[in-house]
Amino acid sequence: MNKKTVRDIDVRGKRVFLRADLNVPLDDGKITDDTRIRASLPTLVYLLENGAAVILASHLGRPRGKVNDALRLKPVADRLGRLLGRPVRMTGDALGPGVMTAVDKLRPGDMLLLENLRFHAEEEANEPAFATALADMADIYVNDAFGSAHRAHASTEGIAHHLPAVAGLLMEREVSALSRLMERPAKPFHTVIGGAKVSGKLEVLESLLSRCQAVLVGGGMANTFLAAKGHALGKSLVETDQLDNAVRIMTEARRKRVRFMLPTDALVAAQVHPRAQRQVVRVGEVPRDWSIVDIGPETVAAYTSHLDKARTIFWNGPMGVFEIAPFAEGTNAMARYIAERTPRGVITVVGGGDSVAAVDQLGLIDQMSHVSTGGGASLEFVEGKILPGVAALLDAGEGSAS
Ligand code: ADP
Ligand code: MG
């Protein structure tokens, strides 16, 4: 990576402001998935073991600049404490005199978790005074919040202009894996892309067409391409306002000699409901009142057979309505196939919140070369955008940060 990391600086005896992404899903105050907390541990432990005093900060949910008791970080502090095997102290606010007193008491190896940064509207507004106040607590800034790096907020971007700013270990891993994918993928480089919609992924598709040798399309997104080719798809999700874009993308693929594959068969259901009647049909024969809910077995066979040649595979977006078990077979088959390629030397990278959830459900996270923790951030990276939270960090070549 071309950015300085925690390993490039001396943190001993320093106060470190560590921005992590601890934005976990909550259900009635309970954490339903602690992946992000666990992913933040290596940097935190590294800093503590190397004698830093750590001020840990994150956002949680969307409180929109107001204190919201349901979005306090207490459950995160508890889970973090359990994972670390030591209690995690919290402040009642992200800022203020009470916080300063607590920060002043920190000794090497101590840590403190600040309350939800987004209780302050200045955080998302990237208010310079707020960023300065955060910076005043510490000697060094470490950004490990890859999942928030596409946002220029006070704790992800503004603060970096006031302190020596370096990447955490998770940030480093994410940026290295995705940069490699973008800059020097082993070829052939094939993408499997799905999810609900074409809109929102147009820039991803365009970027991939310039880098990949094949793009294999599934999910609701494929419907819009199939509709643009003239197929009647019953009640399937089709973005009728994206048909022109779909044609443009397919023309672009042809011009660039990128293999652009669409499903040839599909699982259709009478309703999008687990107990609805269902059957496999050719994509040209979707019954009038039915919906496509997954790719069919012939498509799975064609896609996996084509992927046999790939040396790099990027996957974003489920192949069907995978949240409903009977409609998850296409997604699961692709996930299993991609995971099997990793020990054969293929670089396998998965990005996108729902695709990662699908891989996680199958217990295959560790079987991939890289599974990105940053949903929106990883897609913006693949679009070729510069992430402000990464850009603000010290370049690897820059003078000593300590
Ligand atoms: P990711 O988060 O991995 O980028 P998306 O958010 O783009 O993925 O898409 C995920 C959603 O797409 C899921 O909720 C899934 O149910 C939906 N989806 C996939 N295939 C279809 C389909 N054929 N019809 C309707 N929705 C679909
Ligand atoms: Mg999603």
187, two tokens: 């070829």
CATH number at residue 298: 3.40.50.1260
Confidence bin at 402 (pLDDT 50/70/90): very low
Does residue 126 fall inside a structural domain?
Answer: yes
In this structure, are 243 and 116 located in the same domain? no
Does residue 52 fall inside a structural domain?
Answer: yes
Domain of 159, in residue numbers: 6-173
% residues pLDDT > 70 (the chain) = 99
Looking at residue 19, its pLDDT comes to 98
Looking at residue 264, its pLDDT comes to 98
Looking at residue 18, its pLDDT comes to 98
Q: Which of 260, 263, 254, 262 is nearest to 214 (CA)?
A: 260
Neighbours of ion ligand 2 (CB under 5 A): 353-354
Domain count of the fold of the chain: 2
Mean pLDDT over the full length of the chain = 96
- Name the least confident of 306-315, 340-349, 371-380: 371-380
Does residue 393 fall inside a structural domain?
Answer: no
* Neighbour-count burial of 107, counting CB atoms closer than 10 A to its CB (0-12 exposed, 13-18 middle, 19+ buried): exposed
The tally of CA atoms less than 13 A away on the side-chain side of residue 202 is: 13
CA distance 151 to 164: 20
In this structure, are 84 and 131 located in the same domain? yes
Does residue 145 fall inside a structural domain?
Answer: yes
63, two tokens: 């409180």
pLDDT in tens, 317-335: 999 999 999 999 999 999 9
pLDDT in tens, 119-135: 999 999 999 999 999 99
H or E segment and range at residue 19: strand 15-19
Q: How far is the CA of 402 from the centre of ligand 2 (A)?
A: 39
Does residue 228 fall inside a structural domain?
Answer: yes
CA distance 63 to 72: 10
pTM of the full structure: 0.92
pLDDT in tens, 94-118: 999 999 999 999 999 999 999 999 9
SS3 41: helix
Q: At which of 110, 141, 173 does a domain end?
A: 173
pLDDT at 1 over 60: yes
Q: At which of 173, 206, 227 does a domain end?
A: 173
pLDDT in tens, 147-159: 999 999 999 999 9
SS3 17: strand
DSSP 259: E
Respond yes or no: is residue 187 known to be catalytic: no
Does residue 246 fall inside a structural domain?
Answer: yes
Respond yes or no: is residue 36 known to be catalytic: yes
Cβ of residue 328 lying under 6 Å from some atom of ligand 1: no
- For β-strands 140-143 and 15-19, DSSP reports them as parallel
Looking at residue 375, its pLDDT comes to 85
pLDDT in tens, 174-221: 999 999 999 999 999 999 999 999 998 999 999 999 999 999 999 999
In this structure, are 163 and 269 located in the same domain? no
Query: Which residue has tokens 């202009």?
Result: 161
Confidence bin at 399 (pLDDT 50/70/90): low
Respond yes or no: is residue 376 known to be catalytic: yes
Q: Are 172 and 1 in contact (CB under 8 A)?
A: yes
Cβ of residue 219 lying under 6 Å from some atom of ligand 1: yes
